[in-house]
Chains A and B, each alone.
Chain A
């Protein structure tokens, strides 16, 4: 081989390599079976992105329902790893290979996309949004213009699960009053059962536990409004009291709770070594799968004497919505799909197939426990405060409560100082009343 052919060969190889690196992995066939069948013209393919890699099959079945009713639109559903999704989506929406419709995060984490002009406002395109619960739409609103940028996909509620078998063995019932709740804890402790399965090593779990146990004590939605109006801040005595309650309940949690991981707490509960688990509705499917013999119940923690509210509440939040890319090449088809995503038909599929709470009005749940959680939330809703209103800057409220709660459990700070950590941290970007 002379030098010229060597050169040519190497150049060709280099070009081929570069091209290969650029090519998208499009070798696999399109998902869904009804692709374009029964359509008179050319079917339009919509790219839909999601972070639910575990739900790909279910979503494909769900979108088959849509494709049958809309033969000229095919849905290409692609899921990316949850932990990498936000980076991938940001790149996708700013480039040319992005999705037409994508699952987007809620509240603060939605804002980078809204501010970047990557999403279209939807109120005019999807009239059914007018029927949705306002608290759920808040999760999909732009911070500055208040417009809705997503069709709410799922919502989560936070409550206390309990093991009905352990309760029965110890002659216990769902608590009606705070004294009942404390008596249950004492009884279980005496019976050598860990009353509350809590793991505080994962900071994000601490504010969830705090709101599950004490949202009614600090005032739930009333306190949220007072903060929004600028009438108080996080050093409010009611909020400090609620953190003190968390500290008081530490004796009913596993020893060395800051060393216990969230997953340890899950195992503690599903292996029936602990009787109660303060956590989100997203746990239900995992609990039932990890231990199918587990008999579960749920309750709202009654507020202690002197609480801001005289009734228990369930904290909840919007967990993701469907956003429309500002650069979609198929706006008409995407609009059709978005409107379908706001129908009770889709909402019911979310409930039945994905086992999630759908914020679409009128959806019903076949799992009685799921229905009960939803009913409890509807009766006495409260915001999951630090997630709903305090993720619009850096540091985010949930991280601050995670760190403050860990220090509280370690004995490094008292309740007042823990509340001060949250307040001081948030004051970097938030002023009460703004």
Chain B
């Protein structure tokens, strides 16, 4: 089948319609990305661009303090956010989608309920949870104490051992509707005869899930994983609302975007623009690189299954 015959519009007209979006994308996405790259290759004095320094800013990022120790720490936290989101947000999302699947009457209601938090600004969600978790006035600890779980009550955001997990859980609370919707749609589009055939062959419901449904969901799981990776690497508003620009307490919730924000806008360093652009480029390269590698690997796994 040739693409030309199925296209809804002649190519010149189609191009014309694509042009405005492409222009906006170029001006507001590609151009800033290109300038960030050039910024990172120059040294700066305040807002004035100075000499071309090649990769010096990147070398400084990996060899001088405070970046040398803050960059790996922030990156590790991003990785933990991703792992946490995969375990908590995506598996719960899949479970909920599976439970709601073919329960037409309640599905809509619960889908709406679980996706509601995602309509609220993540900054608002973050501040809301920081109020809920306050050790002085927060209802979370008050409820725990009221039901006799005194020992579980914690300064959730004040303890480096729990603070990052609070970020993971609050992020999951807000975004669980996202895997829920995608998995729900994917489940709805699966061919029901496969599962019926497995049922006739005597497979239990657990066997049907693990050996029939889950493998068929694999392409969607791959997509959700890549998107989750990108969101986790770019995390900013929730960590900012819960731990401030320094990733309180004591850097326990510091992430890459916060490092960028601090370096660019609240440091007194003369070369702030050069270094912070380098941080942005490193983050961009990691996101694109890992996403591409992961997608390729996943394609291979998929092909192995079919």
Binding site for B on A (CB under 8 A): 3, 6-7, 10, 13-14, 17-18, 86-87, 90, 93-94, 107-109, 111-118, 200-204, 254-261, 264, 267-268, 391-396, 399, 402-403, 406-407, 410, 412, 424-425, 427-429
Contacts and interface: CB of A to CB of B under 8 A. Distances in A.
B66 interface: yes
Contact of A115 (B134, B266, B270): B270
B23 interface: yes
Most chain B beta-carbon neighbours within 10 Å: one of A14, A255, A256, A403 = A256
Contact of B250 (A14, A17, A117, A412): A412
Task: Give chain B's interface residue range (CB within 8 Å of chain A).
Answer: 35 or more
A403 B133 CA distance: 21
Interface stretch (B45-53, B101-109, B197-205): B45-53
Given A14-B23, A407-B250, A425-B65, A108 B268 contact: yes
A10 B13 CA distance: 10
Contacts of B55: none
Nearest to B130: A261
Nearest to A395: B66
27 contacts: A3-B13, A14-B20, A86-B265, A115-B46, A116-B46, A118-B46, A201-B158, A203-B248, A204-B244, A254-B136, A256-B135, A256-B155, A256-B159, A257-B158, A258-B155, A259-B156, A259-B158, A260-B136, A264-B134, A267-B136, A393-B269, A394-B262, A394-B268, A394-B272, A394-B275, A403-B250, A410-B250
Contacts of A264: 134, 136-137
A172 to B, nearest CB: 23
B244 to A, nearest CB: 6
Nearest to B156: A259
A14 B20 CA distance: 6
Contacts of B275: 394
Contacts of A109: 266, 268
Interface in B212-271: 244, 246, 248-251, 262-263, 265-270
A260 B158 contact: yes
B8 to A, nearest CB: 14
Which 10 pairs show the lowest CB-CB distances between chains A and B? A259-B158, A259-B155, A108-B268, A116-B47, A115-B46, A256-B155, A112-B46, A394-B267, A116-B46, A258-B158
Nearest to B16: A10
B11 interface: no
Most chain A beta-carbon neighbours within 10 Å: one of B19, B130, B248, B263 = B248
A202 B46 contact: no
Nearest to B242: A201
Nearest to B240: A83
A392 B268 contact: yes
A14 B135 contact: no
A406 B66 contact: no
B155 A18 contact: no
Interface of B: 13, 16-17, 19-20, 23, 45-48, 64-66, 130, 133-137, 154-160, 244, 246, 248-251, 262-263, 265-270, 272, 275
A93 B47 CA distance: 9
Contacts, number: 139
B13 A6 contact: yes
Contact of A10 (B17, B66, B134, B268): B17
Nearest to B267: A394
Given A201-B244, A255-B135, A259-B249, 11 more contacts: A7-B16, A13-B20, A111-B46, A113-B46, A116-B45, A256-B158, A260-B136, A264-B137, A393-B268, A394-B66, A399-B262
A430 to B, nearest CB: 10
B19 to A, nearest CB: 7
A425 B66 contact: yes
A11 to B, nearest CB: 8
Contacts of B135: 254-256, 259-260
B266 A402 contact: no
Contacts of A204: 244, 246
Contact of A402 (B13, B45, B159, B246): B246
A115 B45 contact: yes
A118 B20 contact: no
A107 B272 CA distance: 15
Contacts of A14: 19-20, 23
A116 B244 CA distance: 28
B166 to A, nearest CB: 10
Contacts of B267: 108, 393-396
A87 B276 CA distance: 13
Contact of B47 (A3, A94, A402, A403): A94
Contacts of B270: 111-112, 115, 393
A118 B47 contact: yes
Contacts of B136: 254, 260, 264, 267-268
A399 B70 CA distance: 13
A413 to B, nearest CB: 9
B265 A87 contact: yes
A261 B46 contact: no
A406 B23 contact: no
Contacts of B250: 258, 403, 406-407, 410, 412
Contacts of A117: 48
Contacts of A203: 244, 246, 248
Nearest to B155: A259
Contacts of B249: 200-201, 258-259, 406, 410
Most chain B beta-carbon neighbours within 10 Å: one of A6, A410, A412 = A410
A112 B47 contact: yes
Contacts of A7: 16
A112 B20 CA distance: 36
B13 A428 contact: no
B246 A399 contact: yes
A429 B244 contact: no
Most chain A beta-carbon neighbours within 10 Å: one of B64, B66, B133 = B66
